[in-house]
C-alpha cells in the first residue's frame, strides 16, 4: 500500500508536469491572435505600450522562464487574470464549494440510481420493465443538459414554482442548499444514469452465467442473496472506474453546461467565462485542477478496485 502510494504520487507529479506543459504551450505561447501583450494592450496601443506590457508580464523572456514563472504563480497563489485582474486561486476557491456540492451530490445520485436501474433491467432482461428502462436510458443519454435544464427551470421552476429557478445557497443553510441543488443534481445525473445503467445491465448479464453464480445457487442461497452478494458485487468494477473519471472531470469544472444553466457560479462557470474572455491564465489553472482531480480519483478508484476484486494487486 505504501509503495503504491509513493509510486502513484510520482506518476501524479509527472502527469501534472506533462499536462501543464502542453496546456501552457497551447494557451500562452500558441495563443490565437499572436502576442498576448498585444491583446492585453488593446487595439489602440502604441508599440511602446505593448513593449512595456510585454516587459511587465515577462512575455519577452524565453519560453521556459515564462513557463516556470507561470507555474510558480499558480502554485503560490499569486497568479492574476490578465483580463479581470482578479487572483485566479481565490476565484477558483470561491467556485469550489458550489462545484463540489454539485459534483458529489450528483455523483452519489447517479451512481446509486444506476445500480438500481441497471440491476432491475438485468433481472427483467427482455421483459417489459427492461424495455421501458432501455428507452428511458436512451432518452437520458441523448437529452442535452441545456435543454433538460431549460425545461425544468421553465416548467418546474417558473410555471409550477416547485423548485428554485437558479442560484446556489451555501451549505451553512442545509435545507436551502439542498433545495437549490435538486434540479442541477438531477440534470447532471440523467446522462450518467443512462450510460452507467446500460453498462451495469450488460455486466450483470455476463456475470449471471458465471460458474460461481451457479455454485451460489447450489449452496441454497436465495435469489436476492445470490444477486446482491455474488452477481452485483462482481459486476461493479466497470462502473466504479467510470465513476471515478467522470466525477473527477465534474469536480474539475467539467459541468460547464449544468453550472451555466442554473447560474451556479462554480469552477465550470468560471471556465466558461474564461473561455469567453480569452482568460488563459485562469483557464490554465482550471485545466491543472481538472488534471489533478482525474489523477487523484484515478488512484482512489484503483484502491477501490483492489477492494472489489482481490485478484487485482496494487502496484
Partner 1 sequence: MSAGAPLLEVDDLRVSFATEDGLVRAVDGVSFTISPGEVLAIVGESGSGKSVMAMTLMGLTRGPNARIAGRATLGAVELVSASERDLQRIRGASIAMVFQDPMSSLNPVYRIGRQIVEQIRVHDRSVSKQEASARAVELLARVGIPHAERRLQSYPHEFSGGMRQRVMIAMALSCSPRLLIADEPTTALDVTVQAQILEELRVLRQQSDAGIILITHDLAVVADIADRVIVMYAGRVVEHGTLDELFYDPQHPYTWGLLGSITRVDRDTSTMLPAIPGMPPSLLRTPQGCHFRPRCPHAFAKCMDVPELSARAPDAPGHLDRCWLEVEQKRKLRVVGDQIGLASSEPVIS
Q: Which of 217, 240, 249, 314 binds partner 1 (CB under 8 A)?
A: 217
Judged by DSSP in three states, 87 sits in strand
Considering only the stretches 103-111, 135-143, 229-237, 263-271, report the one whose residues sit in contact with partner 1 under the rule CB under 8 A: 229-237
C-alpha 101/C-alpha 97 separation (Å) is 6
Checking 66-75 for CB contacts under 8 A at 24+ apart, the result is: 66/28, 66/29, 67/20, 67/21, 67/24, 70/24, 70/28, 70/281, 70/284, 71/20, 71/24, 74/284, 74/285, 74/288
DSSP 48: H
| Least distance between partner 1 and beta carbon 127 (Å) | 10
Judged by DSSP in three states, 174 sits in helix
Residue with Cβ nearer partner 1 (87 or 234): 234
| Least distance between partner 1 and beta carbon 195 (Å) | 24
Q: Which of 10, 112, 229, 238 binds partner 1 (CB under 8 A)?
A: 229
- Establish if 234 lies at the interface with partner 1 (CB under 8 A): yes
- Tell me the three cell numbers of residue 204: 450483470
Distances (CA, A) of 297 to 107, 192, 246, 312: 13, 17, 9, 17
Q: Pick from 11, 4, 2: which is nearest to 291 by CA?
A: 11
- Establish if 210 lies at the interface with partner 1 (CB under 8 A): yes
| Least distance between partner 1 and beta carbon 1 (Å) | 17
| Least distance between partner 1 and beta carbon 208 (Å) | 12
Residue with Cβ nearer partner 1 (43 or 311): 311
- Tell me the three cell numbers of residue 290: 481538472
Q: Which of 216, 240, 275, 303 binds partner 1 (CB under 8 A)?
A: 216
Residue with Cβ nearer partner 1 (47 or 220): 220
Interface residues with partner 1 (CB under 8 A) are 210-212, 214-223, 225, 229-230, 233-234, 308-311
Amino acid at each position: 500500500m505504501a509503495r503504491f502510494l509513493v509510486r502513484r504520487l510520482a506518476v501524479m507529479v509527472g502527469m501534472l508536469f506533462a499536462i501543464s506543459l502542453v496546456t501552457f504551450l497551447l494557451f500562452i505561447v500558441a495563443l490565437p491572435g499572436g502576442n498576448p501583450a498585444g491583446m492585453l494592450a488593446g487595439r489602440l496601443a502604441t508599440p511602446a505600450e505593448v513593449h512595456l506590457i510585454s516587459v511587465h508580464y515577462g512575455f519577452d523572456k524565453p519560453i521556459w522562464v515564462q513557463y516556470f514563472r507561470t507555474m510558480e504563480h499558480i502554485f503560490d497563489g499569486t497568479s492574476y487574470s490578465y483580463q479581470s485582474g482578479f487572483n485566479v486561486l481565490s476565484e477558483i476557491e470561491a467556485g469550489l464549494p458550489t462545484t463540489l456540492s454539485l459534483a458529489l451530490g450528483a455523483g452519489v445520485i447517479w451512481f446509486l440510481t444506476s445500480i438500481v436501474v441497471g440491476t432491475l433491467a438485468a433481472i427483467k432482461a427482455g421483459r417489459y420493465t427492461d424495455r421501458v428502462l432501455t428507452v428511458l436510458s436512451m432518452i437520458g443519454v441523448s437529452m442535452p443538459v441545456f435543454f433538460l435544464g431549460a425545461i425544468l427551470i421553465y416548467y418546474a421552476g417558473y410555471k409550477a414554482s416547485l423548485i428554485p429557478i437558479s442560484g446556489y445557497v451555501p451549505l451553512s443553510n442545509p435545507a436551502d442548499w439542498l433545495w437549490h441543488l435538486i434540479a442541477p443534481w438531477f440534470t447532471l445525473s440523467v446522462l450518467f444514469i443512462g450510460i452507467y445503467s446500460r453498462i451495469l445491465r450488460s455486466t450483470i448479464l455476463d456475470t449471471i452465467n458465471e460458474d460461481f453464480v451457479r455454485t451460489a445457487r447450489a449452496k441454497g442461497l436465495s435469489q436476492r442473496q445470490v444477486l446482491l452478494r455474488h452477481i452485483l458485487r462482481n459486476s461493479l468494477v466497470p462502473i466504479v472506474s467510470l465513476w471515478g473519471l467522470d466525477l473527477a472531470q465534474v469536480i474539475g469544472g467539467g459541468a460547464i453546461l449544468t453550472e451555466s444553466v442554473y447560474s451556479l457560479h462554480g469552477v465550470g462557470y468560471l471556465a466558461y467565462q474564461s473561455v469567453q474572455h480569452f482568460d488563459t491564465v485562469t483557464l490554465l489553472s482550471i485545466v491543472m485542477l481538472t488534471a489533478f482531480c482525474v489523477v487523484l480519483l484515478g488512484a482512489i478508484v484503483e484502491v477501490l478496485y483492489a477492494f472489489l476484486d482481490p485478484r487485482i494487486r496494487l502496484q
